[in-house]
Structures are given as structure tokens and as C-alpha cells.
Structure 1
Amino acid sequence: MRYKVTFLAGVVLGYVVGTAAGRERYEEMKKSARRFAQNPVVRNAAETAGQNGRAFAGKAFTAVGGRVGDALPPSVARRVPGLRDRRQGSEDEWGTSNT
């Protein structure tokens, strides 16, 4: 599905760049795209996809972090917020000491 959308976006972009119809057709396409993006069904689908993606990314981070987190060097673990609690030391998320 992602490849189909990417292909379609490329076709539209190629048409816009290479069109001989001029500014009038460009404005018509722009207005149509704006109406499509503001459609409540499309907005709900995009928001649902975003929420599902964030949930999946969180689960993946937890699964990978649990397996790989202890094997990472401390310099890398300091840069990844979810792995900071695995390190020893008393630094907060800003990298400053609590003492």
C-alpha cells in the first residue's frame, strides 16, 4: 500500500511539474487536495494510523530495548531516553546531577 501511495504521489508531482495546463490547473488540483485532506473521514483515518503507529513503535522499542539495552555501551544508553533508567547513576533526563 505504501508503494502505491508513493507512486501516486510521484505521478501527481510529475504532472504538476510537467503540465502544460498552467497555473489554473495547478490551483484546481491544490484546492482538490486541500478538500481531500480536510475531509473528516480522511482526517480520522490519518489520526488512527498515527495512533496505531505510535503504539506499535512503543511496543517495538520496549521489546528491542529489553533485549538490546543491557548490551549497549553507556555512551549510547545515555542518549536513548528509555534506556536511561537501566544505567547506574543519579542523572535526570537533562543530564544534570540531582545532588
Structure 2
Amino acid sequence: MKKFLLGVGLGYVLGTKAGRGRYEQIVRTYRKLVDHPMVQGAAGVARAKVSEKFGRR
């Protein structure tokens, strides 16, 4: 969660300095990355391993 908030904050700061168009480009790129099936699969595997290690289900 902290990394997500950091990414959002960084995108906001970079976007405001570079202008609205650049900000929108950063947001689109971030969303494409997060929504990519390989990233979703890796996130699922990571969640399962963390759950397994810490016993949360």
C-alpha cells in the first residue's frame, strides 16, 4: 500500500510540474502496467506467498 501511495504521489508531483498532458500520460502508463495480465499474475502469486507465510487467508 505504501508503494502504491508513493507512486500516486510521485505521479502527481511529476504531472503537475510537467503539465496536465504529461500527468495524463503517466497515469495511462501506470494503469496499463497495473492492469497487465502478467503483473496481475505476479501480484496474485506474491499475495499467496505472503498469506502462506503469515497464515492469513
After TM superposition, list the pairs within 5 Å mapping 1:1-99 onto structure 2: 9=6, 13=10, 16-18=12-14, 19-58=16-55
TM-score by length of 2: 0.71
Report sequence identity in percent.
35
What is the distance in 1 between the residues matched to 2:28 and 2:19? 15
Following superposition, the deviation at residue 26 of structure 1 comes to 0.5
Runs (4+) off by over 6 Å: none
Q: Which runs of 5+ in 2 are unaligned?
A: none
TM-score by length of 1: 0.43
Larger Rg: 1
What is the distance in 2 between the residues matched to 1:20 and 1:57? 41
Following superposition, the deviation at residue 16 of structure 1 comes to 3.3
Greater length-normalized contact order (CA 8 Å, ≥ 6 residues apart): 2
Paired AA for residue 28 in structure 1: Q
Q: Which runs of 5+ in 1 are unaligned?
A: 1-5, 59-99
Counterpart of 2:54 in 1: which secondary structure?
Answer: helix
State the superposition RMSD in angstroms: 2.0
What is the distance in 2 between the residues matched to 1:31 and 1:52? 29
